[in-house]
Structure 1
Amino acid sequence: MDKKTVETLFGKALAPRGFKKKGTTWYREAQGLLQVVNLQKSSWGASFYVNLAFVPEGMSVEGMPRPKEYQCPIRIRLTSAYPDKKALIERLLRYEDVEMSDEQRTAGIEGMFHDMVLPFMDRLQTVDDLKRAIEGGTFHNASVILVARKHLGLPPP
């Protein structure tokens, strides 16, 4: 499978849910926050990472209204959001791995969106959802910058 096909699969999953594409990043305006799904090419080989990010309304972030994923104040890799599925996610995103057929990879990536990416983003549709997730430990292995915690009225970690 080539990287363009992987990108196309992302668009097919995200566009019907209201995400708009810019490069290899998809954006969706939710109630009081911007949601970001980013497909990042690995520097170390033929694989990708899936990055999920959020910008609460009212935060000053470079690049708004469509900041780069790394500019977002709240960020998590899909493998950190689902550590028990890390091996599966990594295998699906090694797009030149010939041990998996294109059909298997396509079905796996579609399942990854259905079972992981979309439910994760759908659970975090409001600022209150995001605050509860941070307080509840969902972002334990993530990047939540101090200014974002302060903006949300959360104590430092």
Structure 2
Amino acid sequence: MSSFRFPTLLRHAARRAGYQGSGPTMHATSDGFVWVVNVQRSHDGVHFYVNLGAHPLGLLPDVGLASTFKEYQCAFRTRVGERWLREPFSEDVAPLFTQAEAVFRREVQAGVENLRTIAPQDAVVGTYHAEFHSLLFARICEACGWNEQALRFVDWGYPRTRPRASAVREEFALLRQRLTPA
């Protein structure tokens, strides 16, 4: 089985949007984020999926990792449309990608900005893994310098953490320690 290649017209559109790289994943860094576009082969070999991801640079342990960050590691992820047909590849795919990618960037940036003032219970949708979302949002707030809001997410998420989730509880404790003035 040959390796899957990024469709040429899509690669050109991604490059025009500032992405770099080779293989099925390309990266861009701007506005405090690493932006990732990934092309994923479907099981039938005739179609593929276009996945977008964004992750705040402030949450990376090393900014040098931005060029190797995977879409599935991103804090924010989406899939552009449904399956895309591999061949024949239409010329109107580039504008479709460009528009979808621009909308994704605006939504991520607006969502992060919204974290500054939203009540934690309104930011975390549902209760399934609410502690992970709360911890992520607290980290994003900390990276943005919104320490009081980060503490609100910590205070809301910690009591919802399952007792056996000791690593998550420890992450909350370490974050609280960093955020609480001495």
Q: TM-score range by the shorter chain?
A: 0.5 to 0.7
Match of 1:73 in 2: 75
TM-score, structure 1 normalization: 0.62
Instruction: Give the residue type in structure 1 aligned to 2:79.
Output: R
TM-score, structure 2 normalization: 0.55
* 1:50-69 → structure 2 map (5 Å cutoff): 50-60=50-60, 64-65=65-66, 66-69=68-71
Give the match's secondary structure for 1:22: coil
Instruction: Give the residue type in structure 2 aligned to 1:148.
Output: L
Q: How many residues align?
A: 126
Give the match's secondary structure for 2:21: strand
Which consecutive aligned stretches of 4+ in structure 1 deviate over 4 angstroms post-superposition?
A: 132-135
**Contact 1:7 1:24 (C-alpha < 8 Å) held by counterparts:** no
Question: What are structure 1's unaligned runs of at least 5 residues?
Answer: 80-88, 97-101
**Contact 1:52 1:77 (C-alpha < 8 Å) held by counterparts:** yes
**Contact 1:59 1:151 (C-alpha < 8 Å) held by counterparts:** yes
Question: What are structure 2's unaligned runs of at least 5 residues?
Answer: 119-124, 126-131, 142-149, 158-182
Give the match's secondary structure for 2:10: helix
* Residue 109 (str. 1) matches residue 90 (str. 2): no
Q: 1:132/1:29 Cα in 2 relative to 1: closer, same or farther (>3 Å)?
A: same
* 1:18-97 → structure 2 map (5 Å cutoff): 18-60=18-60, 64-65=65-66, 66-79=68-81, 89-90=82-83, 93-96=84-87
- The more displaced of 29-38 and 40-49 is 40-49
Give the match's secondary structure for 1:20: coil
Instruction: Give the residue type in structure 2 aligned to 1:129.
Output: A
Q: Structure 1 residue 42: deviation in Å? A: 1.3
Structure 1 CA distance for aligned equivalents of residues 114 and 20 of structure 2: 24
Q: 1:128/1:94 Cα in 2 relative to 1: closer, same or farther (>3 Å)?
A: closer
CA-atom RMSD in angstroms = 3.3
| Higher RCO structure (Cα 8 Å, ≥6 apart) | 1
- The structure with the largest alpha-carbon Rg is 2
Q: More helix by proportion, 1 or 2?
A: 2
